[in-house]
Amino acid sequence: MNGSLLDSVNIGNWMLIAPELWVLTMTCVILFVDLYIKEERRGIIHLLGMITLIFAAIITLRGGYLEEGATQAFAFNDTFVRDRMGDVLKAFSYLVLAGVYTYAKFYMRQFSLFRSDFYTLSLEALLGIMLLISANNLVMVYLGLELLALASYALVAFDRGSQRASEAAMKYFVLGSMASGILLYGMSMIYGATGSLDLAEISTAAAAAGSGDIILLFGMVFLVVGIAFKLGVVPFHMWIPDVYHGAPAAVTLFIAAVPKMAAFAMAYRLLQSGLGGLHVDWMQMLAVLAVLSIMAGNLAAIAQTNIKRMLAYSTISHMGFVLLGMLPGTATGFGAAMYYVIVYSLMSAAAFGMVILLSHHGVEAEKLDDFKGLNRRNPWYAAIMAMVMFSMAGVPIFVGFFAKWLVIKAALDAGLMWLALLAVIFSVVGAFYYLRVVKLMYFDEPLAESSIEAPVDFRAAISINGILMIGLGIFSSALISVCMSSFT
């Protein structure tokens, strides 16, 4: 199994990781360009970031790498895998990150944080996300995760002047290190039990050993904990409220929206591609985690007065729903979970985009009260926020409804009637705090009468983002079929 040196330099390998290479190259380019431009011409960096994403999307979606009849293509001695699921998730990561850049530029200019570090670090994080999505080997999973995590820690602490941000970054860093330690320990157990780091080989060994192998089971618990931390499900969610709250809104936006897609891919690769043979066991674990998250997330969100914290708890409950979709371990189930996670990313991007939009004079609009009377100040923005909230609450015809519906159906398919019922009940509970925002916007007196100003690209992005909430609901079949066909 010791691959030859020749194999490593095989051109086919490099073609497969072309998107990753492109992103890496552009990160370095941005790093250098920044040295030679003046402060007031930072816009170039933003432009370069967008170009990176656009071309990455083109390279990724070009396809044609699959051999006749194959659904996956491997590179670098099977440590790297390209497949449809990976491509779709990557493409959405670019899309959401492009949105994040558009929102963040406005924010960073306002708070005089507009530095190229944000772009380099977030592109590195994106690279981590891409590698994680395409990992086919425990080592690659771990490295991708670390790359993503390290860049995220730095991003949280990005606003050096803010004590709150530093505190959040510290917490994130320590807890994240612990989680990755736990994950690594689990991986070592899996390696010990199966004698391999390659997911395909692990899969064969795990299928043969089944639930009887206690070492395998033991290692899997650790893996599940690692995944749970990354997704942020109860009881491994503690970092989420503090980090979302502490980080600058632009960074929160990034952390909330993009890495969840990688976390989903990681869960799929580890649990399904790797430990599919132990489905019965991890299904139960995920079921418990999902229940706790949906309950705790929705209940705790009600008590929040800070919208960033509220959205943090809402994220926790959304991730519970994602787990719900993964429970059956079937293609439809994973398709539903993937659809949910993509929809969630779009929704949270829009929600935090609105938080950024309302920030003014260097003060973040993080109180729920800042949304009071928004309809009076600007009905269109209020409508966007209302659509986002309706979508998050899972009101029919909005895209969030379909996401919830599909994952609940997946849970039903797995025969978990009680879980589906609980999910429905708590999504009704959750609707309360989403609709409270709508109530604040439409029925309360505004605290500030000032008009809301934003550059044209911001306005366009947030409008498109808002319209997607209902557009993807009305024309929901397209995205659903894309997700469903990713797992065959």
Partner 1 sequence: MPIIEITFYLFAAVLVGAAVMVISVRNPVYAALFLVLTFFSAAALWLLLEVEFLAIVLVLVYVGAVMVLFLFVVMMLDINLAPLKEGFIRYLPAAITVAVVMAVELMMVLWVRGKFGSEAFESPVPHPPDYNNTKEVGEWLYTQYMLPFEVAGIILLVAIIAAVALTLRRRPEAKRQDPARQVQVKRDDRIRMVKMKSETKVEE
Partner 2 sequence: MSLTTTLILIPLLPLLAAIVAGLLHKQVGRAGAHWVTILGVGASCVLSLWVLYQQMYEGLGTQDITIYNWMISDGIRFQVGFLVDHLTSLMMVVVTSVSLMVHIYTIGYMAEDPGYQRFFSYIALFTFSMLMLVMANNFMQLFFGWEAVGLVSYLLIGFWFKRESAIFANLKAFLVNRVGDFGFLLGIAAVVYAFGSLDYADVFGRAGELEGKTFSIIPGLDWQLATVICICLFIGAMGKSAQAPLHVWLPDSMEGPTPISALIHAATMVTAGIFMVARMSPLFELSDMALTFVMLIGVFTALAMGLIGIVQNDIKRVIAYSTLSQLGYMTVALGVSAYSAAIFHLMTHAFFKALLFLGAGSVIIALHHQQDMRYMGGLRKHMPITWLTAWLGTLALVGFPFFSGFFSKDAIIEAVALSNRTGSEIAYWGVVLGVLVTSFYSFRLLYLAFHGSPRYTVDAGAGHHPPDGVLQHEPHESPAVVTVPLILLAIPSVIIGYFTIEPVLFGGWLSDAIHVAPQNDVVAELGTHFHGPMAMGTHALVTVPFWLMVAGFVIATLVYRFRPALADYAAMKLPVLHRLLENKYYFDEFYQSAFVRRSIQLGNGLWKKADAGFIDGWLVNGSARLMGNLAARIREWQSGYLYHYAFAMILGLIGMLTIWVIRS
Should residue 250 be labelled a site residue for partner 1 when binding is judged by CB under 8 A? no
- The entry of partner 2, partner 1, none near residue 140 (CB within 5 to 8 angstroms by kind) is partner 1
Should residue 192 be labelled a site residue for partner 2 when binding is judged by CB under 8 A? no
- Return the number of the residue (112 or 477) whose C-beta is nearest partner 2: 477
Helix (H) or strand (E) holding 415: none
Binding pattern for the stretch 186-205 against partner 1, x by CB under 8 A and - elsewhere: ------x-------------
Piece of the chain touching partner 1 by CB under 8 A; list 137-145, 371-379, 437-445, 462-470: 137-145
116 contacts 26 by C-beta, under 8 angstroms: no
Piece of the chain touching partner 2 by CB under 8 A; list 47-55, 177-185, 200-208, 453-461: 177-185
Least separation, in Å, of the C-beta of 140 and partner 1? 6
Should residue 281 be labelled a site residue for partner 2 when binding is judged by CB under 8 A? yes
- Return the number of the residue (302 or 363) whose C-beta is nearest partner 2: 302
The DSSP result for 327-360, as a single string, is TT-SHHHHHHHHHHHHHHHHHHHHHHHHHHHH-B
Binding pattern for the stretch 88-127 against partner 1, x by CB under 8 A and - elsewhere: ---------------------------x-x--xx--x--x
- The entry of partner 1, partner 2, none near residue 211 (CB within 5 to 8 angstroms by kind) is partner 2
Place of tokens 């656009």: 54
Should residue 477 be labelled a site residue for partner 2 when binding is judged by CB under 8 A? yes
Task: Decide: residue 35, CB within 10 A, 0-12 exposed, 13-18 middle, 19+ buried.
Answer: exposed
Should residue 443 be labelled a site residue for partner 2 when binding is judged by CB under 8 A? yes
Least separation, in Å, of the C-beta of 175 and partner 2? 6
The whole-angstrom distance between residue 57's C-alpha and the CA centroid of its chain comes to 17
d(CA 477, CA 481): 6
User: Cβ neighbours of residue 437 under 8 Å, at least 6 residues apart?
Assistant: 307, 368, 371, 385, 389
Least separation, in Å, of the C-beta of 477 and partner 2? 4
- Return the number of the residue (221 or 448) whose C-beta is nearest partner 2: 221
d(CA 466, CA 349): 10
Piece of the chain touching partner 2 by CB under 8 A; list 130-138, 143-151, 164-172, 315-323: 164-172
d(CA 181, CA 399): 37
Helix (H) or strand (E) holding 163: helix 163-194
The amino acid occupying position 361 is H
- The entry of partner 2, partner 1, none near residue 3 (CB within 5 to 8 angstroms by kind) is partner 1
Should residue 229 be labelled a site residue for partner 1 when binding is judged by CB under 8 A? no
The CA-CA-CA angle for residues 152, 158, 162, to 5°, reads 125
d(CA 133, CA 145): 10
Enter the tokens of residue 176: 């994240």
- Return the number of the residue (105 or 309) whose C-beta is nearest partner 1: 105
- Return the number of the residue (54 or 474) whose C-beta is nearest partner 2: 474
How many residues are given for the chain? 488
d(CA 149, CA 144): 8
Binding pattern for the stretch 222-241 against partner 2, x by CB under 8 A and - elsewhere: x-xx--xx-----xx-xx--
d(CA 138, CA 198): 7
Enter the tokens of residue 108: 């960073």
Measured in degrees and rounded to the nearest 5, phi and psi for residue 51 equal -60, -45
Among 2, 451, 456, 478, binds partner 1 (CB under 8 A): 2
Place of tokens 């990681």: 266
The DSSP result for 5-33, as a single string, is HHHHT-HHHHHHTHHHHHHHHHHHHHHHH
Which residue ranges make up the site for partner 1 (CB under 8 A)? 1-5, 7-8, 17, 24, 31, 75-77, 79-80, 115, 117, 120-121, 124, 127, 131, 137, 139-140, 143-144, 146-147, 150-151, 153-154, 157-158, 160, 192, 214-215, 218
Which residues contact partner 2 (rule: CB under 8 A)?
167, 170-171, 174-175, 178-179, 182, 211, 214, 217-218, 221-222, 224-225, 228-229, 235-236, 238-239, 242, 281, 284-285, 288, 296, 299-300, 302-303, 379-380, 383, 396-397, 409, 443, 474, 476-477, 480
